[in-house]
Chain A
Amino acid sequence: MTADEDSKDLRRAPRTPAADEITLENVRLGKITPEDLTIRRETLIRQAVLAEQEGYPQLGRNFRRAAELTALPNDVLLAAYERLRPYRATYFELLALSQEIAARYDAPETGAYIREAAEALNDKGLLKKDEPN
């Protein structure tokens, strides 16, 4: 994580004051970084709660997984997607991925989702065969 103290405050702060700091003046002063313009885990959880209250439970669960995925670097994120496509990973590779993401990035819901995929894809023969050793 490269976040400095300022952007940490931004993450914790309620939305309005954080948003107030995103001004053209601050861009001119070089005070805004691309990192400041990313969505936060807490924000996605708040959107999840809102979606659930509005009667959209699936959307809520998606936002909860998304909240977890904010912690994943881009390449890890894209690699995880790639692994869930047909015949890309073995059963054990998917289980390992599930554990790694759940533990390393504090992402239990995403971990469970990948484990569920491992079982389903295994049952339907949509996984890569284990490499013979």
Chain B
Amino acid sequence: MMRSKRFEKRAERPVNKDTFVQEDASLGLVVMDSPHDPKPGITVINGRITAIDGCAQEDFDTIDRYIAKHAINVESAAEAMAMDSVLLARMLVDINVPRAKLMWLMSGCTPAKLCEIVSHLNVVEMMMAMQKMRARQSPGNQAHVTNWRENPALMAADAAEAALRGFDELETTCRVARMAPFNALALLIGSQTPHGGVLTQCAVEEGLNLRLGLKGLTSYAETLSVYGTDEALRDGDDTPWSKGLLASAYASRGIKVRFTSGTGAETLMGYESGKSMLYLEARCLLLVKGSGAQGVQNGSISCIALPSALPGGVRAVLAENLMAASLGLEVASGNDAMSSHSDMRKTAKLMLQFLPGTDFITSGYSSMPRKDNMFGGGNFDADDMDDWLVIQRDMQVDAGMEPVTEKDVLEIRTKAARAMQTAFAKLGFPNITDEEVEAAVTSYASDDMPERDLAADIAAADAFLEGPLTALDVVAALDQAGFEDIAANVLAMQKVRIAGDYLQPAAVLDRDFETRSAFTDRNAYQGPGTGFRLCGEHWERLSAIPQARSAAEMVPQVAGNPGIRLQPIPVPAPPSEGEVVIAIGPAFAGKLDRVLCGLSHGEVLAALIEGIESKGMRARIIKIYHTADCGLLGFEGARLSGSGIAIGVQSKGTTVIQRRGLAPLNNLELFSQAPLLSREAYLQIGANAASHAMRRPPSPVPVKVDNMARLRLIVQAMLMHKREVSCIVPGKSAVEMQAFHDS
């Protein structure tokens, strides 16, 4: 077959490295509306649910049995299940229906009903609904902090930077499970270094996880995975009741709990029985709710590539986020595992959560480079942070990350790594060297870190776990080492546990350790003018990215050195046939000194004159005061030119060749993209102007091809033009100038 070169080129694009598969419900390859999904229905007899979605209680599996008893609200079920799903879908989008009303109705819905409702929404409507239904009014974000060398100084430094960048929660895990106590400790110390209140967790096996919490090293857990079929749940080695008890167990120790579920997990495990991924996720969410967990991380999480391979997969992932929020659950909305090879596709998917805002936009933003991400890479990582910040600034959206300066980052990383070093020394753990601390501050990734004795670290971590030391000893060690502020913050993290406020739905702590949750920061969105608005001081902070420069910095108020001095000629000679006029703008070699391509005004004039003279003509320099417009500069110059030909030059370098008698915008040659010109170009423009005067054919002017020039220099061009406009003197006549080149 013939090959199209365009098809060949496109085949190499990142998006074509992604996998796409056709729907096949018999294999579970369907995100929503599988023909095997049941129809919504409920039977309630004497206040007990006896059938769900066409399944009678004698046929209930353990999940049906659990959600019938614990999750579905019998009081609202009759009303909600009798309502048209389209009407409920409209209510989700309707700004006049408050969140609480919908939460009550949704609490009476069965899994199939929940699916039917969201199936009526397109993604824009889902985003509208998400904006209203998320639990906490202020959106937030979570970061992953890991490194494959498991260097404690680097981990503390990374945690400190992530906290400085405004993440509300930090999650770590281990390459070697036995390092968990040290990783949790590094995360705790680092997270409390720039300010207090950041929640932390270490994702490890439940027993170990709970023990870390008991030592006061962690404040939340989100390792509790549930699945939407009995078989998958059993393969996950749990029952609804074991997970439920675990949720209570964590709460009994003051640890915030979030479950994990997401589309595609059951299909991957081979037990989806032909049901759609979203239907099974709806069952998971009711299981989560029935257990009394305050929230869930969903959005397919590590399975994301599976729904993404199917039609409508990314929409289904937003649908599951929305479903969870509508049930009153906190949602950490995925965007953590690699979802595509294509940056364009990844960003498009991200916007579905980024724009409406969720409780946590990502279930873990990789705050370090991908290679150090022990959760299997990260969808967005340290290299992408500036893009994230710029998109927030573009959209005036808070997606949970704050701009920082390199200086502040270096300072806070140093402080955290030093604190970790001294805490290790005081607690009798293996030495952290000065060399490690220094490397932890500036390193790109853990490849740059000196090696540690892993065996010694593991032995010490084991002893730490088994021994009597707790977070209180960490507080004392930091305090004695002179890190009183970090010690106070770590202590405050213990203190808030006593109050238990951060167990509330969607709870995070602010920098004063006050809880912001669904109870204290209620999402009151009801349309424009309500709910979370990024404005005032907060908006100023998020928009102040360090790359943004002031106008004065970009185009200095006092021009430097134009390389030329212009002086009026007291008695100008009369116009002659052998001349070409160079008509310069009012700021030329005055308030401005340089054109956009970088040449000084002196160099530009010298090139133009040389070009004109190369054809045997003479240049006459005339400064125009009454206009800054390029066309009018040429027009006015041509009017004054003995040959009728003039070159109009704006101070930013935009140039035109004009003939007397032509309308201002109807010129001989226009060079509208000043950044693309050069000395050679100005030389040829001079020569061409002379050729036009002599009625000879002009030659092509060499112009660089750079499609990004306008993009790069548009602000500078605008500021320079603004300066030139400010130099206009209305009614002032043109003045012929004599040029004195600096030598």
A residues lining the B interface (CB < 8 Å): 15, 18-19, 22-24, 27-28, 32-34, 36-40, 43-44, 46-47, 50-51, 54-63, 65-70, 72, 74, 77-78, 80-81, 84-86, 110, 113-114, 116-117, 120-121, 124, 126
On chain B, the residues within 8 Å of A67 by CB distance are: 252
On chain A, the residues within 8 Å of B248 by CB distance are: 62, 65-66, 69, 110
Question: Which of B237, B242, B292, B500 contacts A62 (CB under 8 A)?
Answer: B292
Q: A15-B498, A27-B491 are in contact. Are A116 and B69 (CB under 8 A)?
A: yes
**20 residue pairs A–B, Cβ–Cβ below 8 Å:** A27-B476, A37-B494, A43-B499, A44-B503, A54-B519, A55-B328, A59-B293, A61-B292, A62-B248, A63-B292, A66-B248, A68-B252, A74-B214, A77-B249, A80-B245, A81-B246, A85-B242, A114-B245, A120-B239, A124-B230
On chain B, the residues within 8 Å of A24 by CB distance are: 475, 479, 484, 487-488, 491
Pairwise interchain contact A85-B290, C-beta atoms closer than 8 A: no
A66–B252 Cα gap in the complex (Å)? 4
Pairwise interchain contact B479-A27, C-beta atoms closer than 8 A: yes
Nearest neighbor of A36 in chain B, beta-carbon distance: B498
A63–B251 Cα gap in the complex (Å)? 7
Pairwise interchain contact B294-A59, C-beta atoms closer than 8 A: yes
Question: Which of A18, A43, A74 contacts B500 (CB under 8 A)?
Answer: A43
Additional pairs, 6, CB under 8 Å, beyond known A22-B498, A36-B498, A56-B294: A15-B499, A19-B498, A24-B479, A50-B504, A62-B244, A62-B291
For residues 310 through 328 of chain B, which have their beta carbon under 8 Å from a beta carbon of chain A? 328
Closest 6 CB pairs of A and B: A62-B292, A117-B241, A66-B251, A69-B252, A84-B242, A39-B254
One digit per residue, 1 when the CB lies within 8 angstroms of any chain A CB and 0 when it does not, for chain B 490-512 equals: 01001101111101110000000
Pairwise interchain contact A78-B207, C-beta atoms closer than 8 A: yes
Nearest neighbor of A63 in chain B, beta-carbon distance: B251
Q: A59-B505, A62-B251 are in contact. Are A120 and B62 (CB under 8 A)?
A: yes
In this assembly, does B136 line the interface, its C-beta being within 8 Å of a C-beta of chain A?
no
| Residue of A34, A114, A126 with highest tally of chain B CB at under 10 A | A34
A14–B113 Cα gap in the complex (Å)? 44
Nearest neighbor of A83 in chain B, beta-carbon distance: B242
Pairwise interchain contact A58-B292, C-beta atoms closer than 8 A: yes
Smallest Cβ distance from B542 to chain A, in angstroms? 30
| Residue of A15, A36, A58 with highest tally of chain B CB at under 10 A | A58
On chain B, the residues within 8 Å of A33 by CB distance are: 472
| Count, chain B residues at interface, CB 8 A | 65
Q: A74-B214, A126-B234 are in contact. Are A85 and B292 (CB under 8 A)?
A: no
One digit per residue, 1 when the CB lies within 8 angstroms of any chain A CB and 0 when it does not, for chain B 286-302 equals: 00011111100000000
Pairwise interchain contact B210-A62, C-beta atoms closer than 8 A: no
A55–B552 Cα gap in the complex (Å)? 55
Smallest Cβ distance from B479 to chain A, in angstroms? 6
Nearest neighbor of B207 in chain A, beta-carbon distance: A78
| Residue of B65, B249, B479 with highest tally of chain A CB at under 10 A | B249
In this assembly, does B211 line the interface, its C-beta being within 8 Å of a C-beta of chain A?
yes
A126–B504 Cα gap in the complex (Å)? 33
On chain B, the residues within 8 Å of A113 by CB distance are: 241, 244-245
On chain A, the residues within 8 Å of B495 by CB distance are: 19, 22, 37
| Residue of A23, A57, A65, A121 with highest tally of chain B CB at under 10 A | A65
Smallest Cβ distance from B695 to chain A, in angstroms? 87
On chain A, the residues within 8 Å of B291 by CB distance are: 58, 62
For residues 220 through 255 of chain B, which have their beta carbon under 8 Å from a beta carbon of chain A? 230, 234, 237-242, 244-254
In this assembly, does B383 line the interface, its C-beta being within 8 Å of a C-beta of chain A?
no
In this assembly, does B349 line the interface, its C-beta being within 8 Å of a C-beta of chain A?
no
Pairwise interchain contact A77-B252, C-beta atoms closer than 8 A: yes
In this assembly, does B91 line the interface, its C-beta being within 8 Å of a C-beta of chain A?
no
Pairwise interchain contact A44-B230, C-beta atoms closer than 8 A: no
Q: A74-B211, A81-B206 are in contact. Are A120 and B498 (CB under 8 A)?
A: no
For residues 499 through 549 of chain B, which have their beta carbon under 8 Å from a beta carbon of chain A? 499-501, 503-505, 518-519
In this assembly, does B103 line the interface, its C-beta being within 8 Å of a C-beta of chain A?
yes
One digit per residue, 1 when the CB lies within 8 angstroms of any chain A CB and 0 when it does not, for chain B 200-221 equals: 0000001100110010100000
A40–B240 Cα gap in the complex (Å)? 26
Question: Which of A46, A56, A70, A85 contacts B239 (CB under 8 A)?
Answer: A85
Pairwise interchain contact A74-B239, C-beta atoms closer than 8 A: no
In this assembly, does B396 line the interface, its C-beta being within 8 Å of a C-beta of chain A?
no
| Residue of B61, B250, B503, B504 with highest tally of chain A CB at under 10 A | B503
Pairwise interchain contact A56-B251, C-beta atoms closer than 8 A: no
For residues 357 through 415 of chain B, which have their beta carbon under 8 Å from a beta carbon of chain A? none
Pairwise interchain contact A47-B504, C-beta atoms closer than 8 A: yes
Nearest neighbor of A30 in chain B, beta-carbon distance: B476
Q: A27-B491, A65-B248 are in contact. Are A121 and B239 (CB under 8 A)?
A: yes
Smallest Cβ distance from A43 to chain B, in angstroms? 5
On chain A, the residues within 8 Å of B491 by CB distance are: 22-24, 27
Smallest Cβ distance from A114 to chain B, in angstroms? 7
Pairwise interchain contact B252-A70, C-beta atoms closer than 8 A: yes
Pairwise interchain contact A114-B241, C-beta atoms closer than 8 A: yes
Smallest Cβ distance from B206 to chain A, in angstroms? 7
Q: A56-B328, A80-B245, A120-B65 are in contact. Are A50 and B499 (CB under 8 A)?
A: no
Smallest Cβ distance from A77 to chain B, in angstroms? 5
Smallest Cβ distance from A90 to chain B, in angstroms? 14
On chain A, the residues within 8 Å of B505 by CB distance are: 56, 59
Pairwise interchain contact A62-B239, C-beta atoms closer than 8 A: no
A81–B472 Cα gap in the complex (Å)? 28
A124–B211 Cα gap in the complex (Å)? 32
On chain B, the residues within 8 Å of A38 by CB distance are: 253-254, 497-498
Q: A37-B495, A63-B292 are in contact. Are A27 and B475 (CB under 8 A)?
A: yes
On chain B, the residues within 8 Å of A72 by CB distance are: 252
Nearest neighbor of B478 in chain A, beta-carbon distance: A24
A32–B479 Cα gap in the complex (Å)? 14
For residues 438 through 479 of chain B, which have their beta carbon under 8 Å from a beta carbon of chain A? 470-472, 475-476, 479
A62–B287 Cα gap in the complex (Å)? 13
A24–B487 Cα gap in the complex (Å)? 8
In this assembly, does B90 line the interface, its C-beta being within 8 Å of a C-beta of chain A?
no
Pairwise interchain contact B249-A86, C-beta atoms closer than 8 A: no
On chain A, the residues within 8 Å of B62 by CB distance are: 120-121, 124, 126
| Residue of A19, A62, A65, A85 with highest tally of chain B CB at under 10 A | A62
In this assembly, does B71 line the interface, its C-beta being within 8 Å of a C-beta of chain A?
yes
In this assembly, does B429 line the interface, its C-beta being within 8 Å of a C-beta of chain A?
no
Smallest Cβ distance from A104 to chain B, in angstroms? 15
Smallest Cβ distance from B492 to chain A, in angstroms? 8
